[in-house]
Amino acid sequence: MPAFTLYGARGSTNTDRVRLTLAEGGFTDYDLVLINLQKGEQKSEENMKRHPWGKIPVVTFPDGFIIYESRAICKYLARKYSFPLLPPDSDVEATALFDQAQSEEILYFADPAGKIAFEKFGKRFMGLPPDEVVVSGALRSVEAFFDVAERLLQHKDYMAGKNFTLADIYYIPLIQRLFASGYGDVILSRKAVSAWWDRVINRPAISKLLAADKEAMAAAAAARK
């Protein structure tokens, strides 16, 4: 029996956050059950029992334990299976810096980047036009965020300090969407940010998963033609 079941969806940035964490931890003993978002399966009675807000991802364990919300899942799995992606509890300062970096990602990056991803990437699959006013406003916020990140990353290798952590993983799915939406220059035009991004996506487990996902998406697109 697998250690747990991950309920998620292909193309879901929140699901990808968890999958990247598991890949980086070298953990494969789990089942991935895909939820069809276009059919609204996330709002099904069955999924609502797992996630009261009717969203994904959710992780369920054979003993009945259930946890939802991608960042909470990532932290729980990292602690439970001892992935080297969190500072040790004994290092109070490093833990505080991790919490600070996590808050920065949630408060200043994820919301505007998520709006761009939905308008330029998500709506494409829904057959809807993007709202360029929303995109323009969100892009200004993302650029302002990376202006600050550029200054900060001149003095550290990763978002939470000298070590790669979950705080870096949290950025990957939405930055991938920025590139897919034609806004990769937001990253590449900033020297320190670009160097950080290279360090992150060239990690063996991460690059392997991203390459596999790219192939899968290409195959799915070809099958639709």
Count CB-CB contacts under 10 A for residue 61: 14
Residue that terminates a domain, selected from 56, 80, 104: 80
Give yes or no: residues 165 and 209 share one domain: yes
Q: In what order do the strands lie in the sheet with 4-8?
A: 30-34, 4-8, 58-60, 66-68
Residue 87 lies inside a defined structural domain of this protein: no
Give yes or no: residues 9 and 71 share one domain: yes
Instruction: Quote the pLDDT of residue 218.
Output: 64
Give yes or no: residues 129 and 187 share one domain: yes
Give yes or no: residues 128 and 203 share one domain: yes
pLDDT digits (tens, 9 = 90+) for 173-197: 999 999 999 999 999 999 999 999 9
CATH of the domain at 212: 1.20.1050.10
Give yes or no: residues 76 and 160 share one domain: no
CATH of the domain at 14: 3.40.30.10
Give yes or no: residues 41 and 102 share one domain: no
Give yes or no: residues 96 and 206 share one domain: yes
Give yes or no: residues 68 and 145 share one domain: no
Give yes or no: residues 100 and 197 share one domain: yes
Amino acid, single-letter form, for residue 193: V
Strand partners, 5: 31, 60
CA distance 129 to 142: 21
| pLDDT reading at 112 higher than 70 | yes
Residue that terminates a domain, selected from 15, 45, 80: 80
Residue 85 lies inside a defined structural domain of this protein: no
Residue 147 lies inside a defined structural domain of this protein: yes
| pLDDT reading at 217 higher than 80 | no
212 or 169, which is more confident: 169
Residue 86 lies inside a defined structural domain of this protein: no
Number of domains in the chain: 2
Residue 40 lies inside a defined structural domain of this protein: yes
Judging by DSSP bridges, how do beta strands 30-34 and 4-8 pair with one another? parallel
Give yes or no: residues 102 and 187 share one domain: yes
Instruction: For residue 161, give both structure tokens.
Output: 């300090």
CA distance 110 to 112: 6
Give yes or no: residues 14 and 42 share one domain: yes
Count CB-CB contacts under 10 A for residue 16: 25
Instruction: Quote the pLDDT of residue 123.
Output: 85
Q: What is the residue range of 192's domain?
A: 92-221
> What is the sign of the dihedral through the CA atoms of 199, 202, 203 and 209?
positive
Residue 98 lies inside a defined structural domain of this protein: yes
pLDDT band at 219 (very low <50, low <70, confident <90, very high): low
pLDDT digits (tens, 9 = 90+) for 73-88: 999 999 999 999 999 9
Give yes or no: residues 204 and 101 share one domain: yes
Residue that terminates a domain, selected from 26, 49, 80: 80
